Amino acid sequence: MAIRSCRGLVMVALLIPALAAAVTLSHQCPPSFEDVAGACRLRTAYQQYTSLNDAGVGGLHTGLPVVRDGFTPEQIDLGRYLFFDPALSANGRLACASCHRPAHGFADDRQRSIGVRGTEVRRNAPSLWNVAFLKQFFWDGRAHSLEDQVQGPLYGAAEMGNTPAKLLATLNAMPAYRTLFGAAFPDARGAITPAEVYAALAAFESSLISLNSRYDLYAQGVTDALSPKEIEGLNVFRSFVARCAECHTPPLFTNQQIAVIGMPDPAGRPFDPGAGAVSGEQMLRGGFKIPSLRNVALTAPYGHGGQFATLRDTVAFYTGGRGHAVPRAENLHIHWHIWDPKLSARELDRLVDFLGSLTDESFRPATPAEVPSGLPVPH
């Protein structure tokens, strides 16, 4: 999670007004989840397809990766309140939703979000749709669970700027949160713990499921769900000329790998070594996680640094030739799928048309009218 805006650091306790009304947790699983003995289990048409590999490169009947589910309704709803509550930041002004904005595909419409110190964070905020299927997180893949992932922005000095001790002191000082955590974690005893905070946020993020787009209808046999132009774009997308589907593999539209594609850094920004700085491996220098394309039409700008303003600009990058944007001082190991496909303007336009068919917000959760801290809810 990355962050959007703030000015100055002040004590959170001074910013928290009295809560106007009591907040209660939902006892129902979110849409697309079934309550199985108190645990919310995802249900989707893709579960009828058990193989990830027998339908070619992202064939229409390819199954999904293993999903992270099984949280209780109360844990998911508690996570929703935490996600929208600025009390989680050091200054009480930034929530997770300040940057991962529901109206922008749970991403940010800025190139790079603004943290608690009023400066830009390092990278563009990725979308949170369908993160329940992912096995690594952040652009550089440095986290391997949702619980690990949420700690990055919570405690990042340039992002939410909090500390574990301060976060727990803030939450434990609020009777409303003590009550809600008790309802979500009835077997726990005593004060709110870090593990409970991370689990609740992970529970909410795992509920952000987007699998009911017009593409999905087409994949399930509704042949007129896509327009002729979108079908043409799908054919380009899956072709062995464009090779988009080899990395952005349906139905998740990512193969979850790290790839070095030679994307330029934003003007005036230093070279970002990406996953290479995490692993220390030269082969991964300049490598970044391949993002899912679900709801991609909503998440501009694009790239790890927000380099491209539009989808058209983004897909056009791949026709520029292998390594054409790599700085002269860098000798990167460009992924072998990146070459010089020489796609026409028409083919690029059709790709953009097809990507628009991946939009689905039918299960977008409601933004709380108020949060337990009583602080203003970001929209």
Q: Which amino acid is at 372?
A: P
Q: Are residues 223 and 190 in the same domain?
A: no
Q: Are residues 187 and 287 in the same domain?
A: no
The pLDDT value given to residue 352: 98
Q: Which residues contact 340 (CB under 8 A, 6 or more apart)?
A: 319, 321, 322
Question: pTM higher than 0.85, yes or no?
Answer: yes
CATH number at residue 40: 1.10.760.10
Q: Are residues 340 and 243 in the same domain?
A: yes
The pLDDT value given to residue 19: 46
Q: Are residues 180 and 65 in the same domain?
A: yes
Contact 80, 202 (CB under 8 A): no
- Distance CA(368)–CA(85), nearest Å, equals 9
Task: Let me know if residue 362 belongs to a domain.
Answer: no
The distance in angstroms from the start CA to the end CA of the chain is: 16
Q: Are residues 241 and 162 in the same domain?
A: no
Task: Let me know if residue 379 belongs to a domain.
Answer: no
The pLDDT value given to residue 379: 80
The pLDDT value given to residue 22: 81
Please give the residue range of the domain that contains residue 163: 12-206
Q: Are residues 20 and 157 in the same domain?
A: yes
Report the domain count for the chain: 2
Contact 313, 148 (CB under 8 A): no
The pLDDT value given to residue 155: 98
- Distance CA(115)–CA(6), nearest Å, equals 6
Instruction: Choose among 275, 266, 259: nearest CA to 112.
Output: 266
Task: Let me know if residue 2 belongs to a domain.
Answer: no
Q: Are residues 132 and 30 in the same domain?
A: yes
Q: Are residues 91 and 240 in the same domain?
A: no
Please, what is the Cα angle at 67 between 63 and 71, to 5 degrees?
Answer: 150
Residue pLDDT tens, the chain, 379 long: 443 333 233 333 434 444 445 899 999 999 999 999 999 999 999 988 876 654 456 678 888 999 999 999 999 999 999 999 999 999 999 999 999 999 999 999 999 999 999 999 999 999 999 999 999 999 999 999 999 999 999 999 999 999 999 999 999 999 999 999 999 999 988 899 999 999 999 999 999 999 999 999 999 999 999 999 999 999 999 999 999 999 999 999 999 999 999 999 998 899 999 999 999 999 999 999 999 999 999 999 999 999 999 999 999 999 999 999 999 999 999 999 899 999 999 999 999 999 999 999 999 999 999 999 999 999 8
Task: Let me know if residue 374 belongs to a domain.
Answer: no
Longest dimension (CA), the chain: 63
- Distance CA(14)–CA(297), nearest Å, equals 40
Q: Are residues 270 and 181 in the same domain?
A: no
Q: Are residues 62 and 201 in the same domain?
A: yes
